[in-house]
Amino acid sequence: MNEGPEVVVITGASAGVGRATARKFARHGARVALLARGLDGLEGARKDVERLGGKALVVPVDVADANQVEAGANQIEAELGEIDIWVNNAMASVFSPIKEMTPEEFRRVTEVTYLGYVYGTLAALKRMLARDRGVIVQVGSALAYRGIPLQSAYCAAKHAVQGFCDSLRCELLHDKSRVHLTMVQLPALNTPQFGWVKSRLPRKAQPVPPIFQPEVAAEAIYFAAHDPRREFYVGAPSVAVITVNKFAPALLDHYLARTGYDSQQHDGAEDPNRADNLWHPLPGDHGAHGAFDTRALSWSPQFWTSEHRTLIALTLMALGVAGLVALLKNR
């Protein structure tokens, strides 16, 4: 670890989960490199980080370009110091039936949401392996295990990230490396993506309820970066979806066929001509939150128990011992 504040790289840092995560690290005084395409959002993120006590470096990057990612990593180490934590979070998606998707759309989503993670990981490994330290956090989704209708390109990319991580994890273990890799599987979140993702849906897109605030994700990412277990499931819905899919995938096929279209849309017709960010960033600073604040949960009891599992286990053990002692005394 660097002497002094840790150096953290966050891709997709201009909005949504990346923006909330940048704020979380800033509150702990980190030096945060902010990677994304949108200059307005990056500038807003920089102000957030500095206001909260961290140091920010804005690095305009399209993560689909490996050369840009590598050049960004060089700039970060030159200006902030050796990278301690790399968080891959940038994403792109298209809400559309597969039969209406184009090859170019599949390529673009894959290049950002999957290959962007690969390029970020390669840049991090190039530096971390030589020092034999560092943590790579892959921001995943319950959709890494269970594809749903209308988001085929995104689901496929998240599946690919999960498979990539399994391979890399085995190699790190084989090499006895002290570079850590962890993946955080997130639930539905209240982020701006639903207002800027390209969509062919007749009604406005929404995250599948129940919806969580992006700060829930940021808390999990921060914890995973400092206690890097193999994988984290965040939110009871993520646990339920992943578990049921392991044992009854056909049941989920039929359930999602019935519910997956309506659950991803809400009241109000979509404007078929609205701008989207698939190819170019939208102007403006969109912040961390989307349009669903009144419906979003700010806490996940499931993740709290995961975060504090050692304390809970010790408490249960103590209660068990106390109960056994009481039982023996009363005999």
> 10 Å Cβ neighbour count for 74?
12
323 has a pLDDT exceeding 80: no
Average pLDDT over residues 251-259: 97
Is residue 154 among the annotated active site residues?
Answer: yes
50 has a pLDDT exceeding 60: yes
70-104 pLDDT, tens digit each: 999 999 999 999 999 999 999 999 999 999 999 99
Q: Which residues of 266-295 are buried (b: 16+ CB within 10 A; e: fewer)?
A: beeeeeeeeebbbeebbeebbbbbbebeee
CA distance 292 to 297: 10
Q: Which residue has the higher pLDDT, 40 or 314?
A: 40
Predicted confidence band at 310 (pLDDT cuts at 50, 70, 90)?
low
Residue 138 CA, chain-centre distance (Å), reads 7
Predicted confidence band at 2 (pLDDT cuts at 50, 70, 90)?
low
137 has a pLDDT exceeding 80: yes
Average pLDDT over residues 150-171: 98
CA angle 58, 63, 66 (to 5 degrees): 110
Q: Where are the beta strands (DSSP E) in the chain?
A: 7-11, 31-36, 55-60, 85-88, 94-95, 135-141, 180-186, 198-199, 203-205, 211-212, 231-233, 265-269, 296-297
Choose, from 114, 117, 119, 154, the residue flagged as catalytic: 154
173-213 pLDDT, tens digit each: 999 999 999 999 999 999 999 999 999 999 999 999 999 99
pTM value is: 0.90
